[in-house]
Amino acid sequence: MKVDIENLHVAYAGRTVVSGVGLLAAEGEITGLIGPNGSGKSTLLRTVYRHLQPTAGRVLLSGTDIRELSPARAARYVAALPQERGGDFELSVREVVAMGRTPHKRGFAGDDATDRDIVARALAEVGMAQHTGRRFSALSGGERQRVLLARALAQDPEVLVLDEPTNHLDIRHQVDLLALLRVQRRTTLVSLHDLNAAASVCDRLHVLHHGMLVASGRPREVLTPALLAEVFGVRAAVVDHPLTGDPLIAFDHRLPVEAMQGTGTALEV
């Protein structure tokens, strides 16, 4: 299933946050959203998983406007891992993950063997299979993140929408999560602050700046020193990763922000 975003405008509190964005998340590909803080990434993703309504434009799932679907039917197609992680659920890890099966059930039906197998597999995929009986409220931030990702996987969606999924994860679990996304090969729309992670895992990148789409393409086409200076306000070189051959961004951490000012480079501070 592909996701088409057509001329999307989103506003709230009297301010336009996303303005005229159009992009494609192709079927089976990992599509990344990158951009500075406040560029509109989370707002766009919230619109895709129906947390926000656009003021104009459409989100299409293989040609169908997502607003024409019932909430339950939309949830069978799209699962989200938002930045808002929810409260301290007084539920066990397994119970939280089993919530992902809700769109596939009628009324208050209990779990069947299929549900139990899917939940167990999702927990194993995120490395939490040994923690099923723990209280969600007692977990660390990284453990909660993995449980909520398992809940999204248990939903068995055709489209995954992930907003900063590597937040709170140590480097080992960041690597594991990105590898899992590659193996899953579901249509995935993901926002990432880590540009090197985005270069490694994403098939295509879309760059947002001030709520507008300013660049799209393969990571090697998009992640250029000129774009990094203009959009992110940083000085960087882009080289080949010695292990994978992916683009690798080497940032100049010694260059103060003031040194970029007065050069015509747009800064986000």
Q: What is the mean pLDDT of each run of 10 residues along the chain (269 residues)?
A: 96 91 96 96 96 95 94 94 76 94 80 92 95 92 93 96 92 92 93 96 97 97 95 94 94 67 43
What is the pLDDT, as a whole number, of residue 43? 96
What is the pLDDT, as a whole number, of residue 108? 67
User: Is CATH 3.90.1150.200 what the domain over 3-223 is classified as, yes or no?
Assistant: no
What is the pLDDT, as a whole number, of residue 267? 37
What is the pLDDT, as a whole number, of residue 100? 94
Angstrom distance (rounded) from CA 96 to CA 92? 6
What is the pLDDT, as a whole number, of residue 77? 96
What is the pLDDT, as a whole number, of residue 84? 74
Domain with CATH 3.40.50.300 in the chain: 3-223
pTM: 0.90
What is the pLDDT, as a whole number, of residue 27? 96
What is the pLDDT, as a whole number, of residue 236? 92
